[in-house]
Amino acid sequence: MKKRVMTALLVWGVTLAMPLWAGPVADATKAALMEARDNLVGLLAESDKAAQEKRVEAIKQASAKVDEQVAKNGAALQGFADVWQPFKVTRDGDIVPKIMAGKIEEAKALATTVQAERFKKMLDILAGMPQ
């Protein structure tokens, strides 16, 4: 219970600390990106396999929304896409499998290093988009 409360507070705090967003493309992309992130953070706190599988599916659905924004707005989101692709590969190929295998600390180590840098860069790109 304490872990879930701390996770919720962390997600809430990071969300409030985000800069204001510019324009509908950035807003829609950011919303989907945050949905995927929130479900990944939630996945870290889940121990029930069925609940984990629901989180993984929610991550995939939110990621599809990000991919859709990138496809529809290729030129505007090119810099974002250049970071999004390796971010997604690391998340889906390394972090999620480690979580599902119970290797939470290894997953957190990846999430708090290169992935955190990529996530910040994506948010910075979205924040810098013109309205």
The Cα–Cα gap between 87 and 117 comes to: 10
Kindly give, in sequence order, each residue whose CB lies less than 8 Å from that of residue 10, ignoring residues fewer than 6 positions away: 41
Read off the pTM: 0.81
Query: Angle at which helices 104-111 and 23-45 pack, to 10 degrees?
Result: 160
User: pLDDT tens digit string along 2-54?
Assistant: 566 455 545 544 444 444 445 899 999 999 999 999 999 999 999 999 999 99
Q: Which residues of 95-128 are buried (b: 16+ CB within 10 A; e: fewer)?
A: bbebbbeeeeeebeeebeeebeebbebbbebbee
Kindly give, in sequence order, each residue whose CB lies less than 8 Å from that of residue 108, ignoring residues fewer than 6 positions away: 44
What's the pLDDT score for residue 3?
63
